[in-house]
């Protein structure tokens, strides 16, 4: 019997198979699974790394030292919010701070020492790093053209003592960069006090008019958003209490665009403009006569200088219509208290003469002790017996003299431009950076000793030097540094020892020094309350508070006795010459991310959202290109 | 093999020449396929569309080819439902063109969406309020109808006929064709309309938004009408073009007359209604949103000339021409008028898509520009290449013009 | 001899049915072993409640599975049993978390809060998780090869016919229960 | 808790954002906090302001007067319209208006990426994922586990940090409360704004700050004439700014 298989049988069997599959779960289950499959994330699936907890610390990226409330899953922070009422920041945070937890994973992060030789960058081990550094240290001091210099972005820390001791041991320099914001104006004014140098801060809440010669007061200086907030709040108050911001600047910067009044001015003619305002104030007897009589000296000499700057001349020099100069001066006099701030070392530095003229103008307006209060530095460890080098200002760094340059991790390129540093270096100098990033100055260094990234180590953070009161946080670490990270401070110590030099043991006495001062109050962010420092029982208790993210704030300092000189000895001729000089070139108009220029760390990659996906800010590449041109 | 595939009594060029003719179109298709591959593999960042110009060349293309492809349903409607027997001469060609237009549009749409694998969710979780749902449903269904209408053409091929059952199937299909023509017409009415509704429902866009009649904005009806009007014109145009290229007489002149008359009359109705709609729009848009209609035309290059060109130059004028017996008598003028009619609808679809997106919306927006990337253009041209290929093959091996043999033996 | 039509049909039908019902599930799911032979029943008989290990925190977050640290609260040292030895040696001592394969884990875009269900809604754990607490060894974890999700989301039966309430954790199951109780919900109540 | 109560007994919430334009300095903190909270990836190398994924966009409006005058920065998240033009256009119900919160939700896993909603939205607050999201190695560990990551080819937008509402509801549930503590539900942008230009709350509560602020004469809404009913209000003490920003953009001059 032979089985005949026809095409019909095949069709039937095929039909049966189709029916069988249709009657099985296959099609329906597959349909469902495929639907889910098309929704499969080809993306990371974030899972909590532990239970949710909030931890407090302070941001170390810029001098503002804002309080951070970190939302953490297990040990992993996933976001920050500001801490309302925090003494340093009062609830403000900037884009840089909001992304601080990304920096440990930044693509430019370095976790091993790197050396650049012959134009090639190579990773080296700890021993090689120590050897390179110790050879360079040993060579220092022998040749006066190849000295050692260390740049410290945040002087006054316990670590700063180590750097000062190292400078002493090698016969080198301990260099401090200018502080960001309005510090230069405050210094210029403080120097005129006859009781010696006086530290002043800025208290915007006490001013009705803020005249800024390029200081980004609304956008980028001091506590993020503070002046914008104060100004907006004042608008709901009677007209006489409103705060107005007047920006005097050569370009329509972001700050100028936001100011209530923008006075475009020929670049480099700020001194003439300030003296013009002084002229009107004195000529029309609008200056704060009581303050001048009680608190200043040298009015006649200054008046005769200012007399030369009639509004007509000022118009000719600065391009600002005479009427605008007069009206502004009258408005300032009518809306006291007013204050005037100079440029910003990071974005728009002014000449010393312009700062001097601005200091005089502040005196005519009676700004000191009101909008410009006296402040004291946060308590520091006493030098004691230790022989420690004193600070050399960055501007005073001699050209072509440095054979070994050590850049602390806190040094920001915006305040310490590489072009200026290069001038100070002698041929074949070794540039050591302790930055954890292969970016900014870390990229320029020939020996990179990367340390812990932001949030990976406890840091001593003082608030900005132009804040009305000093603050201090011993900000706890949130993240663990990579396991095998060689600590740069240890490498430096080893290399120093290998070079036959000695350093004092590392100290950590800041909390003790603070406690001993009995000054100020401490803010506990978890309780959102202040406690007088005098009430803290022990250094351990204080340290524990700091470990919970606390922040100390100073008491208001008493008004000192003494007078300000309206002009310093021999200042008048220089001032006159500068104010009558020709305008300078127009600076490029850039809008960098807030605080980008004063941060030692590169911005998180997420901030490309702002620089690439909005038109608000100049992309970093364009900013670098035009900075190089300038 | 090739010879035996060509319909009896039809004369076609030699196979090598035919293949040579296909080469450039195949190249176009291949380039487009590569562009589509890029869009799938790398993503839609290969296009120049962006968050503000979220629709671009492709959506415009879809709207346009579907309007032009309307000849398929409308000729079917005229032939099978209204019994305009003379249109039998072009129905096959119209079906092929419709199939090309619709399949091209659906294909491009699948590239245009970011997650084509999820496109079928529309059937699973449909939002009945969305015009796009209506478009998706009707388009897919109508494409299936077109495939069914296409099938008899293939089945009647000399060689396919020899397969047992093919003729029976063809005969059965022929008997129910009137049903499919009806279904096709209904579906087409809906998706042509909902394509218009796509923009007419945009409440946030005073330029595109139109008064609603029932649940549909007026653009719903205008799109149906304009598509029905230019469909016959496009059939006329393609038939004439195929005749020119193949150097053959394919249909008798009366067919052109009928197509032109129908197209002209519908176009006239469309233009009148479009005019009325524009007047209503001008008077209600500003009343509702405070926007003067003139400000829509204050952003060059979109001046009032656009409206004029759409309604008068490429609307009223071709309508008049197509309705004039003296114009119809001269093929050159007739073809010009049909071209103008098609151009009017092409412009309308352009305006609805591009001007809608380009006009500023927020108070600090500016007029936006957009130019397609080469990938978008290549994918666009691939539809053209695919169309010519499929049409050429169909023309060679299927009997697209039933009158052709007769006319060839006669003349 | 010619085959009768039903026979030809059956020649196709039967293997297809067999493949669809018997082979397909094996192909679709992959079985993975749990890291430890955890005994729920022993813990429950020891007087522990589900929430002793799987608690809702004060902030409303469900803690999920207990950390190794909490296991170590009772099982810090070896000796009691093989499983405990393994726990101590592999996880407690090196301080690692146990990589449990979670039957009830939902896709990443799903947000399921325990607090409204357990605390407010007073639903028993068993309502959704079944008699998991009575198990003496952990059930084998089956993962869908296509979707990568646990088989428990679909339920044990391929057809989902006749399944118990706790068998299956698909969106339709959630919706079913919510609708039955007249509880309205929006997409973003349960999706993130 | 909403999910456990019958709808008829539910009080309707109207979560509302008020933006004080006097305070905004365009610093970008809101958008940054938003990107961190919502797991928005860093910009692709080729991304521009028109192809980026930005939920909270800050735009610079022209100066308020011809003579220059201060610039106004306008942060624009999804306007959470009460009469949203986007919901009805989605072909597969990937957008939903929740009548209990007023939040317009977009469900990326349902989205097929047709971008019709983007065309429909006059505020341009949606982003299409033109690229696959990518994070540098290791940075995924900083992602927020409360928000799922979206894939290439889908549309996304602001949802008022609804995950924070979810968390607040769960917290209320755990504490046996029916209503959330308003302090527990604050979107990331509001929390981040250093000049406190953003106010958030439930406008259904007549006494809430947002209810009061949104009703006074200084508040207005963008494109109010279109009838979309946004729940994002803007306010300015400058009548010129108010007038200019409440216009429809197509109107020239």
Q: What is the pLDDT of residue D6?
A: 38
Q: Give the gap in angstroms from C-alpha B53 to the nearest C-alpha of chain A.
A: 15
- SS3 label, residue B143: helix
Residues A78, D143: C-beta atoms closer than 8 Å? yes
Residues of A in contact with C159 (CB under 8 A): 25
DSSP string, C7-75: HHHHHHHHHHHHIIIIIHHHHHEEEE--SS---HHHHHHTT--HHHHS-B-TTS-B--SPPHHHHHTT-
Residues A115, A132: contact at Cβ < 8 Å?
Answer: yes
pLDDT at D9: 38
Tell me the mean pLDDT in the region B268-290: 87
Number of CB atoms found within 10 A of residue A23's CB? 14
pLDDT of residue A623: 65
Helix (H/G/I), strand (E/B), else coil: A205:
helix
CA distance B300 to D89: 29
**Residues C189, D168: Cα–Cα separation, whole Å:** 12
Residues of D in contact with B291 (CB under 8 A): 225, 248, 250-251
SS3 D102: coil
Please, do chains C and B touch (3+ CB pairs < 8 Å)?
Answer: no
CA–CA distance from C82 to each of A280, C77, C87, C88, C139 (Å)?
93, 12, 9, 10, 18
| Dist. CA A458–CA A550, nearest whole Å | 13
* pLDDT value at residue A426: 92
Closest approach of B376 to chain A, Cα-based (Å): 23
Q: What is the distance between the alpha carbons of residues D237 and D222, in angstroms, rounded to a whole number?
A: 16
Looking at residue D247, its pLDDT comes to 87
Asked whether residue D73 carries a pLDDT value surpassing 70, the answer given is yes
Give Cβ neighbours of residue B6 (< 8 Å, ≥ 6 apart). Answer: B12, B158, B396, B397
If one counts every other C-beta atom within 10 angstroms of the C-beta of residue C167, the result is: 16
DSSP state of A339: E
Residue D67 has pLDDT above 60, yes or no: no
What is the structure's pLDDT at A437? Answer: 95
The reported pLDDT for the residue numbered D63 is: 67
CA atoms of A78 and B124, how far apart (whole Å)? 37
Q: What is the model's pLDDT at position B208?
A: 92
- pLDDT-derived band at D208, boundaries 50, 70, 90: very high
Spatial separation of the C-alpha atoms in residues B277 and B208, rounded to whole Å: 12
Q: Which residues of C touch A40 (CB under 8 A)?
A: 147-148
The secondary structure of B304-324, three-state, reads HHHHHHHHHHHHHHHHHHHHC
Who wins on pLDDT, B9 or A601?
A601
Separation of alpha carbons A213 and A273, rounded Å: 10
In tens, the pLDDT along A265-304 reads 999 999 999 999 999 999 999 999 999 999 999 999 999 9
3-state helix, strand, coil in chain B (%, to 5): 75, 0, 20
Query: What percent of chain A clears pLDDT 70, i.e. is strictly above it?
Result: 98
Q: Residue D130 pLDDT more than 60?
A: yes
pLDDT > 50? residue A485:
yes
Question: What's the confidence (pLDDT) of residue D5?
Answer: 36
CA D17 to chain centroid: 8
Query: How many residues are there in chain C?
Result: 192
Q: Tell me which of A62-66, A343-347, B141-145, C131-135 is least confident.
A: A343-347
Joined tokens for residue B100: 């090309």
Strand partners, A248: A263
Is residue D252 predicted with pLDDT exceeding 70? Answer: no
Task: Tell me, yes or no, if C13 comes closer than 8 A to chain A by beta carbon.
Answer: yes
Start-to-end Cα distance in chain A: 101
DSSP string covering A365-392, please? TT-BTTTB-B--PPP----TT---PPEE
With CB atoms and an 8 Å threshold, state whether A39 touches B124. Answer: no
Find, in chain C, the residue whose alpha carbon is nearest to that of D177. Answer: C120
Q: Using CB atoms, which residue from C119, C184, C191 is nearest to D174?
A: C119
For residue A628, the model assigns a pLDDT of 52
How close D60 comes to chain B (CA, Å)?
Answer: 8
Kindly provide the b/e burial profile for residues B273-284, where b requires at least 16 CB atoms within 10 angstroms of the residue's own CB.
ebeebbeebeee
On the question of pLDDT at D140 being above 60, the answer is yes
CB of B161 less than 8 A from some CB of D: no
Task: Give D7's pLDDT tier (boundaries 50, 70, 90).
Answer: very low
Q: For the residues B290-315, what does the mean pLDDT come to? A: 90
Q: What is the pLDDT of residue D66?
A: 56
**Which residues of D are less than 8 Å from C192 in CB distance?**
146-148, 162-163, 166
Provide the terminal-to-terminal Cα distance of chain C, rounded to the nearest Å: 65
Residue that the structure tokens 């979780």 belong to: B125
Is the pLDDT at B286 greater than 80? The verdict is no
ipTM metric = 0.92
The 10s digit of each residue's pLDDT in A95-133 is: 999 999 999 999 999 999 999 988 899 999 999 999 999
| Chain A / chain B CB contacts < 8 angstroms | 6
Question: Of all residues in chain D, what percent carry a pLDDT higher than 90?
Answer: 83
Facing residue for D50 by CB, picked from B52, B202, B289: B52
What does the pLDDT look like over D85-104, one tens digit per residue?
Answer: 999 999 999 999 999 999 99
Q: Are C169 and C153 in contact (CB under 8 A)?
A: yes
Q: Is the pTM of this model over 0.80?
A: yes
Question: In sequence order, what DSSP letters do the residues of A232-297 get, joined into one string?
Answer: HHHHTS-GGG--EEEEEESS--HHHHHSSEEEE--TT-HHHHHHHHHHHHHHTT-S-HHHHHHHEE
Query: Which residue in chain C has the smallest CA separation from D104?
Result: C188
Q: Is C56 on the interface with D (CB under 8 A)?
A: yes
Residues from chain C contacting residue A2 (CB–CB below 8 Å): 1
Question: Nearest C-alpha of chain D: how many angstroms from C124?
Answer: 15
Of A38-42, A549-553, D150-154, the least confident? A38-42
Q: Which residues fall within 8 angstroms of residue B374, CB to CB, at 6 or more apart?
A: B35
Instruction: State whether residue A6 sits within 8 Å of chain B by CB.
Output: no
In tens, the pLDDT along A426-442 reads 998 999 999 999 999 99
Helices and strands (H and E) in chain B: how many: 18, 2
- pLDDT band of residue B402 (cuts 50, 70, 90) is confident
pLDDT tens-digit map of B240-251 = 999 999 888 888
Average pLDDT of chain A?
91
Q: Is residue A306 helix, strand or coil?
A: helix
pLDDT band at A1 (very low <50, low <70, confident <90, very high): low
Task: Please give the CATH architecture assigned to the domain spanning D2-245.
Answer: 2-Layer Sandwich (3.30)
Higher pLDDT, A630 or B321: B321
Give how far D9 is from chain A: nearest CA, Å: 32
How many Cα atoms sit within 13 Å of D162 on the Cβ side?
A: 25
For the four alpha carbons of B128, B132, B138 and B143, in that order, the dihedral sign comes to: negative
User: Within its chain, how far is the Cα of D110 from the centroid?
Assistant: 20
Residues 6+ apart with CB under 8 A from A190: A197, A198, A199, A200
Map out the domains of chain B with their CATH numbers.
2-410 (1.20.1630.10)
Helix axes B88-112, B218-246, angle to 10 degrees: 120
DSSP A473: E
Residue D242 to chain B, least CA–CA distance (Å): 11
Give the rounded percent of residues in chain B with a pLDDT score beyond 90.
61
Say whether residue B366 is in contact with chain A using an 8 A CB cutoff. no
Percent of chain A whose pLDDT exceeds 90: 73
Residue B291 reports pLDDT greater than 90: no
Q: Nearest to residue A515, comparing CAs of A485, A542, A484?
A: A542
Q: Does A92 score more than 60 pLDDT?
A: yes
* Nearest beta carbon to residue C111 from set D109, D159, D166: D166
Is any Cβ of chain C less than 8 angstroms from the Cβ of A6?
yes
The pLDDT, as a whole number, for residue A91 is: 80
Supply A20's token pair.
Answer: 């069988």
What are the sequence ranges of the domains in chain D? 2-245
């Amino acid at each position: 019997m032979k089985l005949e298989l026809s095409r019909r049988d095949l069709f039937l069997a095929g039909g049966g198979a189709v029916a069988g599959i249709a009657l099985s779960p296959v099609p329906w289950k597959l349909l469902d699974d495929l639907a889910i499959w098309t929704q499969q994330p080809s993306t990371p699936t974030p899972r909590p790394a532990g239970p949710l907890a909030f931890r407090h610390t302070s941001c170390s990226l810029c001098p503002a030292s804002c309080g951070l409330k970190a939302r953490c899953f297990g040990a992993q922070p996933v976001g920050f919010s500001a801490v309302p009422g925090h003494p340093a920041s009062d609830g403000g945070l900037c884009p840089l701070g909001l992304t601080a937890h990304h920096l440990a994973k930044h693509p430019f992060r370095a976790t091993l020492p790197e050396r650049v030789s012959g134009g090639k960058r190579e990773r080296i081990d700890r021993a090689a790093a120590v050897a390179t550094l110790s050879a360079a240290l040993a060579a220092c001091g022998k040749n006066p053209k190849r000295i050692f210099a260390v740049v410290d972005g945040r002087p006054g820390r316990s670590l700063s003592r180590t750097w000062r001791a190292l400078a002493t041991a090698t016969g080198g320099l301990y260099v401090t960069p200018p502080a960001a914001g309005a510090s230069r104006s405050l210094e210029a004014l403080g120097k005129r006090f006859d009781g010696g140098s006086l530290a002043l801060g800025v208290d915007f809440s006490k001013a009705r008019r803020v005249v800024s010669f390029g200081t980004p007061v609304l956008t980028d200086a001091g506590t993020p958003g503070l002046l914008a907030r104060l100004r907006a709040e004042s608008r709901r108050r009677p007209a006489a209490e409103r705060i107005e911001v007047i920006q005097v600047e050569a370009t329509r910067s972001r700050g100028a665009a936001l100011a209530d009044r923008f006075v475009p001015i020929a670049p480099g003619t700020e001194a003439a403009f300030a003296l013009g305002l002084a002229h009107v104030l004195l000529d029309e007897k609008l200056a704060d006569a009581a303050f001048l009589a009680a608190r200043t000296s040298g009015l006649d000499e200054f008046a005769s200088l200012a007399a030369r700057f009639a509004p007509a001349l000022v118009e000719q020099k600065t391009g600002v219509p005479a009427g605008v100069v007069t009206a502004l001066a009258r408005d300032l006099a009518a809306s006291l208290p007013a204050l005037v701030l100079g440029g910003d070392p990071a974005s728009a530095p002014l000449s010393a003469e312009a700062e001097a003229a601005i200091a005089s103008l502040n005196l005519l307006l009676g700004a000191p002790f009101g909008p410009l209060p006296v402040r004291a530095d946060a308590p520091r460890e006493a030098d004691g017996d230790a022989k420690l080098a004193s600070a050399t200002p960055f501007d005073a760094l001699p050209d072509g003299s440095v054979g070994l340059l050590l850049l602390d991790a806190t040094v920001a390129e915006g305040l310490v431009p590489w072009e200026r540093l290069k001038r100070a270096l002698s041929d074949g100098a070794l540039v050591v950076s302790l930055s954890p990033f292969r970016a900014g100055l870390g990229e320029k260094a020939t020996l990179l000793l990367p340390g812990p990234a932001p949030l990976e180590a406890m840091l001593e953070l003082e608030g900005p030097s132009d804040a009305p009161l000093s603050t201090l946080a011993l900000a706890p670490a949130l993240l663990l540094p990579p396991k095998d990270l060689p600590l740069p401070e240890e490498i430096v110590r080893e290399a120093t020892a290998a070079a036959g030099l000695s350093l004092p043991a590392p100290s950590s006495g800041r909390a003790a020094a603070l406690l001993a001062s009995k000054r100020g109050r401490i803010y506990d962010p978890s309780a959102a309350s202040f406690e007088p420092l005098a009430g803290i029982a022990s250094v351990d208790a204080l340290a524990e508070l700091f470990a919970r993210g606390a922040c100390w704030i100073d008491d208001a300092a008493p008004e000192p006795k003494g007078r300000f000189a309206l002009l310093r000895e021999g200042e008048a001729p220089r001032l006159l010459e500068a104010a009558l000089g020709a305008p300078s070139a127009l600076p490029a108009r850039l809008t960098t991310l807030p605080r980008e220029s004063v941060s030692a760390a590169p911005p998180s990659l997420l901030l490309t959202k702002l620089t690439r996906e909005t038109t608000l800010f100049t992309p970093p590449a364009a900013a670098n290109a035009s900075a190089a041109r300038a | 093999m090739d010879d035996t595939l060509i319909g009896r009594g039809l004369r076609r060029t030699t196979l090598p020449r035919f293949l040579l003719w296909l080469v450039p179109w195949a190249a176009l298709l291949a380039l487009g396929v590569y562009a589509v591959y890029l869009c799938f593999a790398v993503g839609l960042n290969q296009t120049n569309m962006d968050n503000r110009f979220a629709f671009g060349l492709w959506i415009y293309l879809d709207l346009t080819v579907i309007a032009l492809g309307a000849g398929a349903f409308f000729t079917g409607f005229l032939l099978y439902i209204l019994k305009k027997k003379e249109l039998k001469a072009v129905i096959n060609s119209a079906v092929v063109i419709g199939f090309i237009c619709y399949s091209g549009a659906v294909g491009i749409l699948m590239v245009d969406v970011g997650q084509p694998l999820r496109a079928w969710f529309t059937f699973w979780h449909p939002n009945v309020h969305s015009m796009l749902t209506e478009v998706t449903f009707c388009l897919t269904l109508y494409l299936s109808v077109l495939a069914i209408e296409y099938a008899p053409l293939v089945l009647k091929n000399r060689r396919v006929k020899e397969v047992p059952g093919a003729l029976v199937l063809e005969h059965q299909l022929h008997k129910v064709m009137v049903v499919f023509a009806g279904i096709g017409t209904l579906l087409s009415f809906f998706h042509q309309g909902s394509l218009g509704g796509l923009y007419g429902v945009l409440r946030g866009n005073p330029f595109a938004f139109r008064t609603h009649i029932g649940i549909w904005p007026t653009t719903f009806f205008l799109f149906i009408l304009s598509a029905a009007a230019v469909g016959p014109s496009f059939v006329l145009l393609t038939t004439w073009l195929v005749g020119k290229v193949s150097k053959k007489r394919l249909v008798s002149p009366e067919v052109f007359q009928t197509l032109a008359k129908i197209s002209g009359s519908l176009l006239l109705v469309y233009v009148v209604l479009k005019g009325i709609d524009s007047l209503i729009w001008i008077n209600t848009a500003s009343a509702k949103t405070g926007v003067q209609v003139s400000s829509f035309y204050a952003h060059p290059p979109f001046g009032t000339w656009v409206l004029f060109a759409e309604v008068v130059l490429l609307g009223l004028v071709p309508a008049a021409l197509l309705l004039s017996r003296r114009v119809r008598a001269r093929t050159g003028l007739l073809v010009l008028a049909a071209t103008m009619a098609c151009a009017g609808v092409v412009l309308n679809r352009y305006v609805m898509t591009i001007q809608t997106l380009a006009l500023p919306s927020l108070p600090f927006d500016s007029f936006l520009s957009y130019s397609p990337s080469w990938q978008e253009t290549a994918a666009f041209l691939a539809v053209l290449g695919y169309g010519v290929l499929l049409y050429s093959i169909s023309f060679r091996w299927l009997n697209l013009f039933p009158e052709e043999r007769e006319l060839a033996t006669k003349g | 001899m010619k085959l009768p039509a039903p026979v030809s049909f059956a020649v196709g039908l039967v293997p297809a049915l067999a493949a669809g019902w018997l082979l397909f599930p094996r192909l679709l799911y992959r079985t993975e072993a749990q890291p430890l032979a955890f005994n729920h029943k022993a813990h429950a008989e020891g007087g522990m409640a589900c929430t002793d290990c799987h608690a809702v925190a004060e902030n409303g977050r469900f803690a999920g599975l207990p950390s190794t640290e909490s296991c170590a609260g009772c099982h810090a040292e070896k000796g009691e049993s093989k499983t405990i030895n393994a726990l101590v040696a592999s996880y407690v001592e090196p301080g690692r978390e146990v990589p449990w394969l979670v039957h009830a884990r939902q896709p990443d875009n799903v947000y399921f809060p325990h607090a409204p269900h357990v605390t407010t809604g007073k639903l028993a754990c068993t309502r959704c998780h079944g008699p998991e607490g009575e198990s003496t060894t952990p059930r084998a974890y089956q993962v869908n090869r296509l979707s990568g999700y646990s088989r428990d989301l679909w339920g044990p039966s391929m057809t989902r016919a006749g399944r118990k309430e706790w068998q299956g954790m698909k969106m339709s199951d959630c919706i079913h229960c919510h609708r039955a109780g007249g509880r309205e919900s929006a997409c973003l109540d349960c999706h993130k | 808790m909403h999910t456990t109560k019958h709808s008829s007994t539910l009080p309707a919430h109207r979560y509302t954002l008020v933006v004080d334009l006097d305070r905004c300095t365009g610093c970008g903190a809101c958008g940054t906090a938003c990107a961190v909270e919502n797991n928005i990836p860093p910009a692709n190398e080729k991304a521009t302001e028109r192809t980026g994924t930005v939920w909270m966009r800050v735009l610079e409006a022209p100066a308020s007067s011809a003579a220059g005058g201060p610039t106004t920065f306008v942060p624009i998240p999804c306007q959470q319209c009460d009469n949203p033009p986007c919901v009805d256009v989605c072909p597969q119900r990937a957008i939903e208006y929740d009548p209990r919160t007023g939040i317009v939700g977009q469900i990326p896993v349902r989205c097929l990426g047709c971008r019709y909603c983007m065309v429909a939205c006059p505020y341009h607050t949606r982003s299409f994922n033109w690229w696959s999201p990518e994070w540098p190695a290791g940075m995924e560990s900083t992602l927020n586990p409360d928000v799922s990551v979206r894939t290439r080819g889908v549309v996304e937008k602001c949802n008022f940090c609804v995950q924070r509402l979810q968390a607040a509801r769960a917290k209320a549930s755990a504490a046996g409360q029916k209503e959330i503590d308003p302090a527990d539900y604050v979107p990331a942008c509001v929390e981040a704004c250093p000049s406190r230009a953003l106010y958030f709350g439930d406008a259904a509560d007549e006494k809430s700050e947002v209810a009061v602020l949104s009703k006074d004469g200084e508040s207005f809404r963008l494109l109010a004439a279109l009838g979309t009913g946004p729940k994002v209000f803007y306010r300015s003490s400058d009548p010129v700014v108010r007038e200019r920003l409440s216009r429809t953009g197509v109107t020239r001059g």
